C-alpha cells in the first residue's frame, strides 16, 4: 500500500518526541501525517491542507488542545478531533466529547485501538464531505443557481421565493409553457426546510382520470381488477416533503373534490381502503391555463383554487424579459457544449439579434432547444445564422425589413458590441472574436462612442 493513501492526519503536540513516535506509527499504517507543535501552526496546516482528522495533545503551553478543538468546531466542523490526554486532564477530554470531539485516549494510548478509532474518524469525515458535495450538486442542479435570470421580473420572483421558502404555504405557479414552472417548483422545494425530504411530482395531464386517482391516492390489493398488490400513492410518497401537482388545470372535477378533501383534512384514503392515513405535504401546483376563466366556465372549483393559490408566482414569458436572453444563451451554450464535448463559445451578433427579436412562444424551453440543435450542428466555435431553424431566421428578416425599424449603422454597431460584451461577461477578446474584428478595433469603436 502506498504511504499516505488512508488519509491526511494532523498531529499536534508540544513534545517533539511524542510527535515523532506517533507519526512513525501512523505512516507505517499508510497515513500521511502533518506535525504541529502549537495551536497557530495547527491552524495554519488545516487551512492549507486537506486534513481528514486531527489527533491533539490536550495540554499544551499557550492555546491548548481544547482551544484547537473549539476553533475547528467553528471553522471546520467536519474534521474529527481525537484527544490524547494525561490522567489529570481526563475531565476536560470527557467534556470535549460531549461537545462533539470524536474520541480521547489516555497517554500512552493503545496504538492498535487508536488506529481503529482513527480509521472510523477518517471514514466519517469522508462521508460528510461526500454528503456536502452532493448537497451542493443538488443545489446547483435544482436550487436557485439553476434558474437563470437577472431581469426585474425574475428578481422579484427570487425575492418572493426567499420570503416563503421556510413556510409550508401552498404555492400556485402560473406561466406559459416552457417558462420554467417545474424548475421553479424544484427550486422552492430544495431551498425549503423540507429539502432533505422527498419531492414528488404528479403530472395531472398525463393520465386519464382513474389512473390519476390511483397514482395520487394509491390503492389496496383487490380494489379493482388489476390491483394485484397494494400500492402507495404519491401523497403518501411525498409525506413530510413536497407534492408538485403539475398542470393542475387539467384535473377533472371529481378528482378536484377528492384533492380538496385531502388538503382540508390532511389525510387520505387509499382506493378500496377503509383507513384514513395522515399526511403532511406542502403542495405546489402549476398551470399554464387561466384558472379564473376555468372557474367562470365551471371547470375548476373556486374553493380548491383558494386552497392552492395561497401565494401565486407568475413566471413572465421570455418575450417580456428579453434582457435575460444573452444570459440564457450563454448558459445553454455552456451546458450543451459541455455535453457534446465541443468548443462552442458564442452566437454571432446576427444570431443574437434574431434571438432578441423572436417572440419565443415556447419560451425558455424553445430557446434551449434551438441552442441544443445549433451546438450539435455548428462547425466552428461560433453559432451562425445557418445553424438556427429557418422559421426563426425568417421571422426576424420580415420584421427587420420594416422601414421604421431602420437605425443608423453606428447605433446598430454599438448595440451589437454591447450585446457581445454582455454575452461574454465583459471579456473583450472573446467579444471581438465573435464580432469578427480585432481587439484593437473593438477598443477603437468603444473609444469613439465616449
Ligand atoms: N430561468 C431558467 N434558467 C435556466 N433554464 C430554464 C429556466 N427556465 C426554464 N428553463 C429550462 O427550460 C425547460 C422548460 O422548463 P420547465 O419544464 O420548468 O417549464 P414549464 O413551465 O414547466 O413548461 P410546461 O408548461 O410546458 O410544462 C427546462 O429544460 C428548464 O430547465
Ligand atoms: Mg411543466
Q: For residue range 299-348, what is the model confidence (pLDDT) as tens digits? A: 999 999 999 999 999 999 999 999 999 999 999 999 999 999 999 999 99
Which pLDDT band holds residue 196 (cuts at 50, 70, 90)? Answer: confident
Q: Which three cell numbers stand for residue 95?
A: 467534556
Q: What is the pLDDT of residue 447?
A: 77
How far, in Å, are 212, 255, 299 from residue 215 at the CA level?
5, 12, 22
Residue whose CA lies nearest to ligand 1 atom number 24: 177
Q: Is 110 exposed, middle or buried (0-12, 13-18, 19+ CB in 10 A)?
A: exposed
Q: What is the pLDDT of residue 403?
A: 41
Q: Which three cell numbers stand for residue 133?
A: 458535495
Q: What is the pLDDT of residues 103-120, one digit of tens each?
A: 999 988 999 999 999 999
Which pLDDT band holds residue 398 (cuts at 50, 70, 90)? Answer: low
Q: Phi and psi (nearest 5°) for 89?
A: -115, 20
> Does ligand 1 come within 6 angstroms of the Cβ of 195?
no
Q: What is the pLDDT of residue 215?
A: 93
Report whether 242 contacts 281 (CB < 8 A). Answer: yes
pLDDT for 1 beyond 50: no
The ligand placed nearest to the CA atom of residue 174 is 1
Q: Which of 251, 250, 234 is nearest to 242 (CA)?
A: 234
Q: What is the pLDDT of residue 286?
A: 97
DSSP 284: E
* High-pLDDT (> 70) share of the chain, %: 95
Other CB atoms within 10 Å distance of the CB of residue 327: 17
Q: What is the pLDDT of residues 73-113, one digit of tens each?
A: 999 999 999 999 987 888 888 888 888 999 999 988 999 99
Q: What is the pLDDT of residue 401?
A: 43
> Does ligand 1 come within 6 angstroms of the Cβ of 329?
no
Residue whose CA lies nearest to ligand 1 atom number 8: 180
Distance, in Å, from the CA atom of 81 to the CA atom of 52, rounded to the nearest integer, reads 9
β-pairing, 267-269 vs 382-383, is unpaired
pTM of the model: 0.66
Q: Which three cell numbers stand for residue 167?
A: 413556510
Residue whose CA lies nearest to ligand 1 atom number 16: 180
Q: Which three cell numbers stand for residue 154?
A: 425574475
pLDDT for 140 beyond 90: no
From 169-183, 344-358, 394-408, the region with the lowest mean pLDDT:
394-408
Q: What is the pLDDT of residue 183?
A: 95
Start-to-end CA distance of the chain, whole Å, equals: 66
- Residue 412, SS3? helix
* High-pLDDT (> 90) share of the chain, %: 67
What are the beta bridge partners of residue 269?
A: 276
Distance, in Å, from the CA atom of 130 to the CA atom of 110, rounded to the nearest integer, reads 30
Q: How many Å separate Cα 308 from the centre of its chain? A: 25
Residue whose CA lies nearest to ligand 1 atom number 15: 180
The ligand placed nearest to the CA atom of residue 183 is 1
Q: What is the pLDDT of residue 424?
A: 77
Report whether 86 contacts 107 (CB < 8 A). Answer: yes
* CA 201 to ligand 2 centroid distance, Å: 10
Distance, in Å, from the CA atom of 260 to the CA atom of 254, rounded to the nearest integer, reads 10
Q: Phi and psi (nearest 5°) for 380?
A: -90, -150
Domains of the chain (ranges; CATH) run 8-137 (3.40.50.2300), 147-316 (3.40.50.300), 319-449 (1.10.8.60)
Q: What is the pLDDT of residue 397?
A: 57
pLDDT for 402 beyond 60: no
- Residue 245, SS3? strand
Using most ligand atoms within 8 A of CB, pick from 179, 361, 371 the residue to mutate for ligand 1: 179
> Does ligand 1 come within 6 angstroms of the Cβ of 422?
no
Q: How many Å separate Cα 296 from the centre of its chain? A: 38
* CA 184 to ligand 2 centroid distance, Å: 10
* Most trustworthy range by pLDDT among 329-333, 398-402, 415-419: 329-333
Per-residue b/e over 338-362, b at no fewer than 16 CB within 10 Å?
eeeebebbbbbbebbbbbbbbebeb
Closest ligand 1 atom to 180 CA: 18
Q: Which three cell numbers stand for residue 398?
A: 420580415
* CA 294 to ligand 2 centroid distance, Å: 19
What DSSP string describes 93-159? Answer: HHHHHHTT--EEEESSP-HHHHHHHHHHHHHHHHHHHHHHHHHHHHHHHHSGGGS---SHHHHHHHH
Q: Which of 195, 91, 88, 87 is nearest to 138 (CA)?
A: 195
Give the sheet arrangement for strand 81-85, strand by strand: 32-36, 8-12, 53-57, 81-85, 103-106
Query: Angle at Cα 147 formed by Cα 353 and Cα 431, nearest 5°?
Result: 35
Own/partner pairs, 410-417, CB within 8 angstroms, 24+ separation = 413/445, 414/445, 414/449, 416/349, 416/352, 416/353, 417/442, 417/445, 417/446
Q: What is the pLDDT of residues 168-187, one digit of tens each?
A: 999 999 999 999 999 999 99
Q: What is the pLDDT of residue 388?
A: 95
Residue whose CA lies nearest to ligand 1 atom number 9: 180
Q: Which three cell numbers stand for residue 134?
A: 452532493
> Does ligand 1 come within 6 angstroms of the Cβ of 175?
yes
Other CB atoms within 10 Å distance of the CB of residue 61: 9
Q: What is the pLDDT of residue 400?
A: 47
Which pLDDT band holds residue 132 (cuts at 50, 70, 90)? Answer: confident
Report whether 382 contacts 434 (CB < 8 A). Answer: yes
Q: Which of 36, 32, 44 is nearest to 64 (CA)?
A: 36
Radius of gyration of the chain (CA): 30
* CA 370 to ligand 1 centroid distance, Å: 14
Report whether 203 contacts 247 (CB < 8 A). Answer: yes
Using most ligand atoms within 8 A of CB, pick from 155, 156, 180 the residue to mutate for ligand 1: 180
From 133-137, 150-154, 206-210, 227-231, the region with the lowest mean pLDDT:
133-137
pLDDT for 39 beyond 80: yes
pLDDT for 408 beyond 80: no
Residue whose CA lies nearest to ligand 1 atom number 13: 365
From 36-45, 150-159, 433-442, the region with the lowest mean pLDDT:
433-442
Q: What is the pLDDT of residues 221-232, one digit of tens each?
A: 888 888 888 889
> Does ligand 1 come within 6 angstroms of the Cβ of 25?
no
DSSP 317: P
> Does ligand 1 come within 6 angstroms of the Cβ of 186?
no
Closest ligand 1 atom to 184 CA: 18
Residue partners of 226: CB distance under 8 A and separation at least 6:
none
Mean predicted confidence (pLDDT) in 364-389: 96
> Does ligand 1 come within 6 angstroms of the Cβ of 327?
no
Distance, in Å, from the CA atom of 9 to the CA atom of 53, rounded to the nearest integer, reads 5
Using most ligand atoms within 8 A of CB, pick from 174, 178, 247 the residue to mutate for ligand 1: 178
Query: Angle at Cα 153 formed by Cα 321 and Cα 195, nearest 5°?
Result: 120
Using most ligand atoms within 8 A of CB, pick from 364, 366, 368, 372 the residue to mutate for ligand 1: 364
Q: How many Å separate Cα 247 from the centre of its chain? A: 23
pLDDT for 236 beyond 80: yes
Mean predicted confidence (pLDDT) in 367-383: 96
What mean pLDDT, rounded, does the chain reach? 89
* CA 178 to ligand 2 centroid distance, Å: 7
> Does ligand 1 come within 6 angstroms of the Cβ of 287?
no
From 27-41, 131-145, 402-416, the region with the lowest mean pLDDT:
402-416
Amino acid at each position: 500500500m502506498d504511504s499516505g493513501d488512508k488519509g491526511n492526519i494532523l498531529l499536534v503536540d508540544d513534545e517533539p518526541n511524542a510527535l515523532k513516535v506517533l507519526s512513525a506509527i501512523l505512516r507505517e499504517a499508510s497515513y500521511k501525517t502533518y506535525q504541529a507543535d502549537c495551536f497557530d501552526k495547527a491552524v495554519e496546516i488545516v487551512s492549507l491542507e486537506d486534513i481528514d482528522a486531527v489527533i491533539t495533545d490536550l495540554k499544551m503551553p499557550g492555546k491548548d488542545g481544547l482551544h484547537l478543538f473549539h476553533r475547528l468546531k467553528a471553522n471546520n466542523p467536519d474534521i474529527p478531533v481525537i484527544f490524547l490526554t494525561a490522567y489529570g486532564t481526563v475531565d476536560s477530554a470527557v467534556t470535549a466529547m460531549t461537545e462533539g470531539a470524536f474520541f480521547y485516549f489516555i497517554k500512552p494510548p493503545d496504538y492498535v485501538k487508536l488506529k481503529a478509532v482513527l480509521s472510523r474518524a477518517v471514514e466519517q469525515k469522508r462521508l460528510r464531505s461526500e454528503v456536502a458535495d452532493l448537497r451542493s450538486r443538488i443545489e446547483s442542479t435544482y436550487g436557485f443557481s439553476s434558474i437563470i435570470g437577472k431581469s426585474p421580473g425574475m428578481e422579484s420572483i427570487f425575492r418572493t421565493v426567499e420570503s416563503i421558502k421556510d413556510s409550508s404555504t401552498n404555492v400556485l405557479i402560473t406561466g406559459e409553457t416552457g417558462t420554467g414552472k417545474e424548475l421553479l417548483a424544484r427550486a422552492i422545494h430544495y431551498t425549503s426546510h423540507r429539502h432533505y425530504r422527498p419531492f414528488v411530482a404528479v403530472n395531472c395531464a398525463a393520465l386519464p382520470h382513474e389512473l390519476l386517482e390511483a397514482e395520487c391516492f394509491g390503492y389496496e390489493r383487490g380494489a379493482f381488477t388489476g390491483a394485484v398488490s397494494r400500492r402507495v400513492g404519491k401523497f403518501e410518497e411525498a409525506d413530510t416533503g413536497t407534492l408538485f401537482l403539475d398542470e393542475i388545470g387539467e384535473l377533472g372535477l371529481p378528482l378536484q373534490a377528492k384533492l380538496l378533501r385531502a388538503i382540508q383534512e390532511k389525510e387520505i384514503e387509499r382506493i378500496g381502503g377503509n383507513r384514513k392515513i395522515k399526511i403532511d405535504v406542502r403542495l405546489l401546483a402549476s398551470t399554464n391555463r387561466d384558472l379564473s376563466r376555468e372557474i367562470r366556465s365551471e371547470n375548476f372549483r373556486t374553493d380548491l383554487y383558494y386552497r392552492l393559490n395561497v401565494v401565486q408566482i407568475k413566471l413572465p414569458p421570455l418575450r417580456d424579459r428579453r434582457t435575460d436572453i444573452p444570459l440564457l444563451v450563454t448558459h445553454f451554450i455552456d451546458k450543451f457544449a459541455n455535453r457534446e464535448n465541443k468548443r462552442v463559445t458564442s452566437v454571432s451578433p446576427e444570431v443574437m439579434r434574431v434571438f432578441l427579436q423572436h417572440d419565443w412562444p415556447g419560451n425558455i424551453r424553445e430557446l434551449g432547444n434551438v441552442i441544443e440543435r445549433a451546438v450539435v450542428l455548428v462547425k466552428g466555435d461560433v453559432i451562425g445564422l445557418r445553424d438556427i431553424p429557418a422559421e426563426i431566421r425568417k421571422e426576424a428578416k420580415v420584421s427587420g425589413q420594416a422601414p421604421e425599424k431602420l437605425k443608423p449603422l453606428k447605433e446598430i454597431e454599438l448595440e451589437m458590441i454591447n450585446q457581445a460584451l454582455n454575452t461574454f461577461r465583459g471579456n473583450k477578446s472573446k467579444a471581438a472574436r465573435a464580432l469578427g474584428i480585432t481587439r484593437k478595433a473593438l477598443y477603437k469603436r468603444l473609444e469613439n462612442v465616449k
